[in-house]
């Protein structure tokens, strides 16, 4: 039976409708495929994040904390007591010091008086509860080294021009330190005068200079505390425990006072080092977080330790925040090259009339190295960056900056051109949120700072020296946990600066600080000549 025109029109309309519906379904399928690809990409990003978090949580890390450490408070000091010398005590049953006494001739070398070993007062009563017990006795079995201080004959004449005879010794005992052992240094100052004469007519040998003049510690003991704290990363509470096992009970405030006294004495030398770093032709800049006790809030805040490192010297700075104004103030008017990471706060340091940024190839390599096992492009980037470092290794023995610049351009220049082209090509179609996308974007964003080292032979290829200088802080903060006050942080930066410069020059920090303290006591104000660098240069000239 022939089909009517109406049926044909109806079928054609139905066909058009079905075609339209098929097109819609095809578009929906296309959209779903695109959405599926996006979800897969996002899933890959999330899996990468989970992998990184698992590595941090379960993998080996040199900065992990043990739970027991969280219950230990710091040592670097809230505020130093007005008289840090008054907080030294010893175990019960120990003998008292003879500090400040006037003993007749002949003097004995005994460490104490048996009458007071019980810890009672002259009246047979113990100090009232809540009061400071005062200075307790030094252990009777401690090694005693006697130091006698006399007055030259021409300086002890009486009114008639006759030399005053030795009348007595004024004796005081101080804790001293000799590498490996604590001992008592008994200082006996000669007292000259006539028997039964007025005290005003007597002449007493001068007290030896000390960082804490009226304290119970010699400079050697003070400096030993500081070196163990900042060079050996031994917290003050552990030093306190160790001293207690030998019969010496040192309060935390006493040890804090040691740090304060040393930092105060060496501040002029720190200032000289910082000024010389500011005058260097390039400066490594980096920072690391430290916890700062915030008594007002009942918890800790995140403070910062900044490192400024030149070719030969290093200076640390403590700040309560990570604001960019802190390095800007430290490096005010600096016109050289600053080797640093991509922290946005550093941007105020750079400009036509300011410093020139220099990037860090180690940071670039690190981002590709994190994913090189699962991404062939990242693995190739790591290999090529390693070739840049191989070139630097070959140039390490080239002393002439111009020659090093020429060789860098000839060998590293073509490789950098290839790297840039490869990064530009890989960026096309790359998901920005992926790990590889982040690594590529970082390298391209910092490219202007990653190439100046080609044009200046003296510039380094990375910022590793600054990171290495901050490693002791990473080790130390695992032990002392937080800084007690802003003043304590500034003192820590000063002392750590001295110790780091000693490390750079291969100098024993204990010997350096002890020798330098003696020079400061003698009135030396040529602080440029007292830095670790100056001492190392003098030693080289003597050896040469």
Whether pLDDT at 41 is above 80: no
Instruction: Judge whether 359 lies within some domain.
Output: yes
Higher pLDDT, 398 or 98: 398
Q: How far apart are CA 26 and CA 85, in angstroms?
A: 86
Which residues contact residue 5 at a Cβ distance below 8 angstroms, ignoring those fewer than 6 apart? none
Question: According to DSSP H, which parts of 395-480 are helical?
Answer: 401-427, 435-445, 447-450, 464-480
The share of the chain scoring above pLDDT 70, in percent, equals: 81
Q: What pLDDT is stored for residue 470 in this prediction?
A: 94
Residue 62 has pLDDT above 50, yes or no: no
pLDDT at position 421 is 96
Between 295 and 75, the more confident residue is: 295
Q: What pLDDT, on a 0 to 100 scale, did the predictor assign at position 224?
A: 92
**C-beta pairs of 519-522 under 8 Å, 24+ apart in sequence:** 520/265, 521/209, 521/210, 522/209
Residue 445 lies inside a defined structural domain of this protein: yes
Mean pLDDT over residues 483-505, rounded? 94
Structure tokens at 275: 């000024």
Residue 398 lies in a domain: yes
Residue 329 has pLDDT above 60, yes or no: yes
Work out the angle at residue 117's Cα, subtended by the Cα atoms of residues 113 and 123, and round it to the nearest 5 degrees. Answer: 90
Contact, 439 vs 343, CB < 8 A? no
CB 339 within 8 A of CB 283: yes
3-class secondary-structure state, position 209: coil
Q: Residue 118 domain-assigned?
A: no
- Provide CB contacts within 8 A for 205, sequence distance 6+: 149, 150, 151, 170, 189, 190, 191
Average pLDDT in the 204-219 region?
Answer: 89
The model's confidence at residue 139, banded by pLDDT at 50, 70 and 90, is: low
| pLDDT of res. 465 | 96
Classify residue 34: in a domain, yes or no.
no
Cβ neighbours around 238 below 10 Å, total: 16
- Pairing verdict, β 314-319 and 337-339: unpaired
pLDDT at 440: 94
pLDDT digits (tens, 9 = 90+) for 125-138: 444 545 555 666 66
User: Can you tell me the mean pLDDT for 234-248?
Assistant: 85
Of 80-94, 326-340, 345-359, 476-490, which range is least confident? 80-94
pLDDT confidence of residue 175:
66
Is residue 499 within a helix (H) or strand (E), and if so which, with residue range? helix 486-505
pLDDT for res 107: 39
Q: State the total domains in the chain.
A: 1
DSSP string, 210-254: -SSTTSSB-HHHHHHHHHHHHTS---HHHHHHHHHHTTEEE-HHH
- H helix or E strand, kind and range, residue 203: strand 203-204
* 3-state helix, strand and coil shares in percent for the chain, rounded to the nearest 5: 50, 15, 35
Angle at 359 between CA 434 and CA 476, to 5 degrees: 85
Tokens coding 505: 């020059």
Burial 488-503 (b: 16+ CB within 10 A, else e): bbbbbbbbbbbbbbbb
CB 79 within 8 A of CB 487: yes
Q: Lowest-pLDDT range, 97-106, 150-159, 507-516? A: 97-106
pLDDT band for 67, please (50, 70, 90 cuts). very low
pLDDT tens string 6-25: 888 888 888 888 888 888 88
CB 367 within 8 A of CB 48: no
Confidence band (pLDDT; 50, 70, 90) for 298?
A: low
356 found inside a domain = yes
Q: pTM here?
A: 0.72
Mean pLDDT along residues 420-441: 90
List of residues 6+ apart from 488 with CB closer than 8 A:
74, 76, 77, 78, 256, 259
| Residue 495: closest CA among 168, 230, 314 | 230
Which domain covers residue 466, as residue numbers? 276-507
pLDDT (tens digit, 9 = 90+) per residue, 444-458? 999 999 999 999 999
DSSP H/E element including 337: strand 337-339
Angle at 59 between CA 57 and CA 63, to 5 degrees: 75
Of residues 91, 88, 137, 145, the one with CA closest to residue 114: 137
Q: What is the pLDDT of residue 136?
A: 66
Sequence-distant (≥ 6) Cβ neighbours of residue 146 within 8 angstroms = 109, 186, 188
Which secondary-structure segment (H or E) carries 174?
strand 166-178
Average pLDDT, the chain: 82
Mean pLDDT across 67-92: 41
Quick check: is 69 in a domain?
no
Mean pLDDT of 26-53: 80
282's CB contacts (< 8 A; 6+ apart) are 310, 311, 336, 337, 338, 339, 358, 458, 459, 460
Of the given ranges (100-114, 207-221, 429-443), which has the lowest mean pLDDT? Answer: 100-114
Q: Which of 28-32, 134-138, 297-301, 411-415 has the lowest mean pLDDT?
A: 134-138
Name the pLDDT band for 3 (thresholds 50, 70, 90): low
**SS3 state at 259:** helix
Indicate if the alpha-carbon torsion angle 239, 242, 247, 249 is positive or negative. Answer: positive
Q: Indicate whether 345 belongs to any domain.
A: yes
Q: Is 59 left (phi over 0), alpha (psi -120 to 50) or beta?
A: beta
Q: What is the pLDDT of residue 409?
A: 95
Instruction: Give one DSSP letter per residue of 272-300, joined into a string.
Output: HHHHHHHTSSEEEEEEEEEEEEETTTTEE
Cβ-proximal residues to 319 (8 Å cutoff; 6+ apart), any chain = 303, 304, 306, 326
Query: If phi over 0 gives left and psi between -120 and 50 gives alpha, with beta otherwise, what is residue 451?
Result: alpha
């Amino acid at each position: 039976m022939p089909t009517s025109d109406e049926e044909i029109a109806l079928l054609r309309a139905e066909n058009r409708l079905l075609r339209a519906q098929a097109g819609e379904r095809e578009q929906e399928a296309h959209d779903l495929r695109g959405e599926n690809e996006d979800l897969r990409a996002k899933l890959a990003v999330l899996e990468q994040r989970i992998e990184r978090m698992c590595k941090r949580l379960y993998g080996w890390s040199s900065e992990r904390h043990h739970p027991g450490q969280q219950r230990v408070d710091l040592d670097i000091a809230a505020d130093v007591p007005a008289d840090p010398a008054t907080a030294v005590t010893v175990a019960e049953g120990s003998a008292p010091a003879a500090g400040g006494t006037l003993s007749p001739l002949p003097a004995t070398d005994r460490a104490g008086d048996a009458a007071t070993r019980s810890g009672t007062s002259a009246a047979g009563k113990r100090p009232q509860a809540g009061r400071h017990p005062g200075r307790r006795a030094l252990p009777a079995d401690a090694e005693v080294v006697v130091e006698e201080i006399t007055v030259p004959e021409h300086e002890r004449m009486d009114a008639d021009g006759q030399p005053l005879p030795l009348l007595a010794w004024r004796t005081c005992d101080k804790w001293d330190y000799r590498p490996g052992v604590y001992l008592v240094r008994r200082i006996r100052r000669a007292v000259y005068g006539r028997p039964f004469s007025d005290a005003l007519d007597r002449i007493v040998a001068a007290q030896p200079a000390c960082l804490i003049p009226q304290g119970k510690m010699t400079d050697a003991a003070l400096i030993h505390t500081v070196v163990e704290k900042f060079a050996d990363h031994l917290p003050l509470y552990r030093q306190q425990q160790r001293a207690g096992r030998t019969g010496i009970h040192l309060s935390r405030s006493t040890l804090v006072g040691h740090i304060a006294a040393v930092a105060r004495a060496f501040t002029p030398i720190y200032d000289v080092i910082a000024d010389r770093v500011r005058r260097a032709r390039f400066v490594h800049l980096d920072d690391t977080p430290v916890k700062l006790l915030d008594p007002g809030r009942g918890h800790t805040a995140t403070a910062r330790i900044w490192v400024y490192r030149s070719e030969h010297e290093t200076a640390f700075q403590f700040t309560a925040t990570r604001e960019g104004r802190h390095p800007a103030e430290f490096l005010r008017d600096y016109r050289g090259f600053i080797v640093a990471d991509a922290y946005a706060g550093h941007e105020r340091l750079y400009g036509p009339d300011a410093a020139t940024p220099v990037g860090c190839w180690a940071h670039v390599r690190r981002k590709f190295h994190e994913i090189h096992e699962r991404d062939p492009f990242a693995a190739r980037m790591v290999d090529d960056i390693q070739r840049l470092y191989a070139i630097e290794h070959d140039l390490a023995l080239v002393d002439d900056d111009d020659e090093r610049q020429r060789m860098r351009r000839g060998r590293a220049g073509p490789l950098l051109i290839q790297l840039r082209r490869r990064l530009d090509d890989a960026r096309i179609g790359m998901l920005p949120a992926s790990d590889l996308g982040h690594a590529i974007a970082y390298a391209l964003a910092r490219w202007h700072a990653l190439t100046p080292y080609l044009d200046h032979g003296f510039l380094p290829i990375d910022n590793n020296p600054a990171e290495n200088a901050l490693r002791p802080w990473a080790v130390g903060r695992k032990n002392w946990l937080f800084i007690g006050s802003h003043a304590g942080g500034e003192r820590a930066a000063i002392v750590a600066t001295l110790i780091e410069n000693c490390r750079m020059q291969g100098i024993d920090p204990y010997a350096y600080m002890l020798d330098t303290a003696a020079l400061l006591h003698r009135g030396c104000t040529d602080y440029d000549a007292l830095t670790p660098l100056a001492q190392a240069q003098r030693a080289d000239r003597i050896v040469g």
